[in-house]
Amino acid sequence: MASIMQVTEAAKGIMRASGNMHQWTDGYPSEAVILSDMEKGGGYVVEEDSRIVAYFAFLTSPEPTYAKIYDGEWLDDMQSYHVVHRIASFPDTHGIFSSIMDFCFSKDSNIRIDTHRDNRIMQHVIKKYGFTYCGIIYLASGDERLAYQRIKE
């Protein structure tokens, strides 16, 4: 768990350095959140040379915060999907997003993801990977997120 928490702290540093000051604050994601991902069978790490360099959650639908989308619509709102949350990596690792998505799309062809409006880096890699912007969702806390979906044929 300590290695995963080091990765999430490093990811927060990347966010702050790029001007994203409001995402992942107040101790989020906590060890309890990561443990919950794992208990659901959806907590994953990426290793390089036997060292954990990234963490992400890959969870089955439904995602409660995705039930209502504003200023848009999902590409498909009928079939089941997986959701990717909490992507975190060390700043010296590259290609992590693509590696994570390649893995996820090997498990499901319908994936949704969201990110903070200030997380320009994540928005860039999400779009680059072929996701379509679908609209705005709100977390249980009321915080806004930009929501995306990709259905791989």
**Tens digit of pLDDT per residue, the chain (153 long)?**
999 999 999 999 999 999 999 999 999 999 999 999 999 999 999 999 999 999 999 999 999 999 999 999 999 999 999 999 999 999 999 999 999 999 999 999 999 999 999 999 999 999 999 999 999 999 999 999 999 999 998
Report pLDDT for 1: 95
Q: Are 59 and 83 in contact (CB under 8 A)?
A: yes
pLDDT of residue 26: 92
CATH code of the domain occupying 2-151: 3.40.630.30
pTM: 0.95
- Neighbouring-strand partners of residue 135: 147
Q: For residue 117, give the H/E element and its range.
A: none
